[in-house]
Amino acid sequence: MLIGLLGPEGTYSQKAANQLDINAQLEYFDDLEDVVESVIEGGVDCGIVPIENSLEGSVGITLDALKEHDINITGEIIVSVGHCLLSKGCMDDVKVILSHPQALAQCRRFIRKHFKNARTQTTGSTSHAAKLTCEFPEMAAIASRESAQHYGLDILADNIQDHKENYTRFVVLGKQIPAPTGHDKTSIIVHLGHDRPGGLFDLLGEFAIRNINLTKIESRPSKLGLGDYLFYIDMEGHQSDLPVKDALEGIEKLADQIKVIGSYPKR
């Protein structure tokens, strides 16, 4: 299997890919949009992208791609994230700290406490930060322990994220819908259209009356106008299960638009 993911080597996306299939061939891309395009064009069998982090919330690029493109979530992977400060120099040498914006945000307190005068710089991925750091002792990267080994960097500090319980949920993107397993999750996007009192209440009622458990609900701007929102909803069950199927039919009568973006095994 050929999996597309964010590169270069050493990213948390690679850890997710290894959890999915340790024997898969990996193709690295510079950004998440390229991963999505490779799935759409058939250049890879599937793609792996982050969708939410337990500290910093959802990844907007992934949510937008699921709305805009004809792709499905076919699986999910949960990765425990432990950030390290990596460098060729020592703590006193560090003047610039590089990493992905999410990683920098997850380590905000550590940076403020130990490197208040250091400059932070964003990169396309944590492993890209590690790669750039290799040649300059005044630079440090926030990345994984695996990145330190791969790029020959020293670990100056370990587990530096602001909260020790730090997890990123990755989704597998593909074109097929997996068959039901009896332990599934379905994800949808809903646009209610005209705002009205009780609109969201009626929407949620379609799940409540069928005893369907929602594992996530999030609003995100529709980009159609100020105050206009989409709802991203994850629920237990497969779209072919009768209760879920009935709920989706009920929502169609209430919403301006509904898009099922995947039914897949729950982790």
| Cα gap 65→12, rounded to integer Å | 20
Give strand pairing partners of 73: 173
Backbone angles phi, psi at 184, to 5 degrees: -120, 170
Are the beta carbons of 145 and 84 closer than 8 angstroms? yes
Determine the Cα–Cα distance for residues 187 and 23; give it in Å rounded to an integer. 28
Within its chain, how far is the Cα of 163 from the centroid? 18
Kindly state the tokens that stand for 241: 């299960």
CA pseudo-torsion sign 145, 150, 151, 153 = positive
Cite the active site residues. Answer: 168, 170
Cis, peptide link before residue 8, omega less than 30° from 0: yes
Cβ atoms 123, 64 nearer than 8 A = no
Q: Residue 37: which H helix or E strand, with range?
A: helix 32-41
Distance CA 32, CA 29 (A): 7
Q: Closest Cα to residue 240, out of 263, 257, 217?
A: 263
